[in-house]
Amino acid sequence: MNRGLFAYLFIFSLLWGCGESTISPDLNLVEINNPVFDEHIEPIIYKNCTPCHRQNGGAPFELTSYKKVKSKARTIAKVTALRYMPPWPADPSYRHFIGEKRLTNQEIELIGRWVKNGCPKGERPNRLLSTVKPFVSALGKPDLVLPLDSIHLIQGDEDRFFLTKVSANIPNKRFVRAVELIPGKRDLMHHFNGHLINYREGSKNPFDTRPRKVEITVGRNPDELKSLDLMTDDGIIPERVHSVVNYLPGVTGVMYPEGIGTFEVNKQFSIIGNDVHYGPSAKSVIDQSKLHLFFTDTPPKRGIGELMLGTNGVSKIEPPLIIEPNTVSTHVTRFQVPADISVLTVNPHMHLLGRSLKAYALKPNGDTIRLIHIPKWDFRWQYFYTFEKMVKVPKGSVILVEATFDNTTNNPFNPHDPPQRVSERFEYGGSSMKAEDEMFQFIITYLGYQAGDENISLKP
Ligand code: HEC
């Protein structure tokens, strides 16, 4: 285990304790005194670890054979007992989501016992693990792959921001069911938000499909129209369809039931990557990210709306997001829903001072709808949490989000030593997205409510 992580785990175990790791052995498992790899451990690793710990899966090493798991056994016992792995910051006793990665106390106990007993192999190891393939896509085989312009990240760089454009020329108009971003360097890409531009047929634009990028630097707001060649020769600035793809660390593509969130692309279209954000790099590398598009013949039925609370959003933060040094402070943002909606996903967003977050809706009749609780915020895992079924939030409900920020030296992620005053910082109209500034945002994707929505499963 690297030293940094060790310090982090240690500090966390002191600070917040390891709430859920007070392990209560399940009666059935008390019998399994001598767990063996093939029967007891391999299925746990296969289900909960190999989605990432495989080739191109984003984790730094593979857990795809008995030998590989055994060589990391002691660390595995530690990180699972601390619930550092698999990474799943949302509290499952508050709300369940699709793709929840969470070991039961019993599974953790089994792993610990197996390691203590010297990692017995069993008779037929690797039956499951030998079937693990390199990661290609979370959504199956893409119909169209669009490579983005490569970006050279240099050792010692600070955060860097880009606008990118990728274009396609396809034989016919198509309906797109999902777009998935596959980052080249998962440990460096922090954010990608993509907008669609459809070009009219017959516009005079000599359509240029080369990928483009332009760097955004402080104090200079690039002229996107010029630097990305967005305007057609007949002077038309095509309209954008917002947020056809979104990426944050740990996010994998989502596909909704047929007809939901589907959109149309013309024969010639571009996807603009807005505020593409990379964190500082420890070495010089080239990021070669790409977009996967999934087509469908089912036309769009219902469009997805996006509601953003907090920083840059529709609701203000109270008190304003200024966090004085050596303080822990709690801030709230609230929004009254003007019509019945069906919520699909929630995505809480804070930076390095974030410590915990809770969101819920208060219905006009006083009932509470639980949305999400993150007891220990981790900047590195910021999923778009997808509900198992759509969640109806009726007209007049107030969505409340409470977030706590820790600007003391107890916070191992505090970017400033000694702590400094930190706040949101706005540059050319938007918020600075640098990790050392703060943000408090809560993004909800939703549909206009239709009777029966609360029974529609969002499971793939
Ligand atoms: C969502 C992806 C994901 C899943 C699922 C996942 N890991 Fe990881 N794991 C990572 C990444 C990324 C890192 C490296 C960054 C870090 O340490 O936070 C990592 C690091 C680790 C480390 C190294 C810690 C260190 O620094 O020494 C261990 C051990 C580990 N994982 C074990 C597991 C086990 C065991 C499981 C399943 C029970 C699991 N992981 C599930 C992504 C994942």
139 sits in the region (left: phi over 0; alpha: psi -120 to 50; else beta) called alpha
- Pairing state of beta strands 290-296 and 174-182? antiparallel
- The answer to whether residue 290 scores a pLDDT higher than 60 is yes
**pLDDT, tens only, 364-380:** 999 999 999 999 999 88
**pLDDT, tens only, 3-18:** 344 334 333 333 332 2
Cα(191) to centroid of ligand 1, in Å? 20
> What is the pLDDT at residue 4?
41
- Provide the whole-model pTM: 0.86
The candidate with the shortest Cα–Cα distance to 253, out of 244, 263, 266, 264, is 244
Q: Work out the angle at residue 11's Cα, subtended by the Cα atoms of residues 10 and 16, and round it to the nearest 5 degrees.
A: 110
Task: Out of 8, 49, 106, give the residue to mutate to test ligand 1, the one with the largest number of ligand atoms within 8 Å of its CB.
Answer: 49
Q: Answer whether 386's CB lies under 8 Å from 453's CB.
A: no
CATH architecture of structural domain 305-455:
Sandwich (2.60)
Q: Is the CB of 53 under 6 A from ligand 1?
A: yes
> What is the pLDDT at residue 196?
94
Percentage of the chain beyond pLDDT 90 is: 68
Q: Work out the angle at residue 100's Cα, subtended by the Cα atoms of residues 332 and 65, and round it to the nearest 5 degrees.
A: 140
pLDDT-based confidence at 433, cuts 50/70/90? low
Where is 196: in which H helix or E strand? strand 189-199
Q: Is the CB of 2 under 6 A from ligand 1?
A: yes
- The answer to whether residue 74 scores a pLDDT higher than 90 is yes
> What is the pLDDT at residue 22?
37
> What is the pLDDT at residue 1?
36
**CA-CA distance, 299 to 287, in Å (whole number)?**
34
- The answer to whether residue 180 scores a pLDDT higher than 50 is yes
> Which residue's CA is minimally distant from atom 11 of ligand 1?
59
Pick the residue with more confidence: 188 or 6? 188
Percentage of the chain beyond pLDDT 70 is: 88
> What is the pLDDT at residue 7?
38
Would you call 224 helix, strand, or coil by DSSP? helix
Range(s) within the chain of domains with CATH label 2.60.120.230 = 305-455
CATH class belonging to 144-296: mainly beta
> What is the pLDDT at residue 207?
61
Q: Answer whether 194's CB lies under 8 Å from 292's CB.
A: no
Task: Out of 85, 110, 132, give the residue to mutate to test ligand 1, the one with the largest number of ligand atoms within 8 Å of its CB.
Answer: 85
pLDDT-based confidence at 204, cuts 50/70/90? low
Average pLDDT over residues 77-91: 96
Pick the residue with more confidence: 25 or 132? 132
Among 343-347, 386-390, 434-438, the range scoring the smallest mean pLDDT is 434-438
- The answer to whether residue 187 scores a pLDDT higher than 80 is yes
Q: Is the CB of 86 under 6 A from ligand 1?
A: yes
Q: Is the CB of 7 under 6 A from ligand 1?
A: no
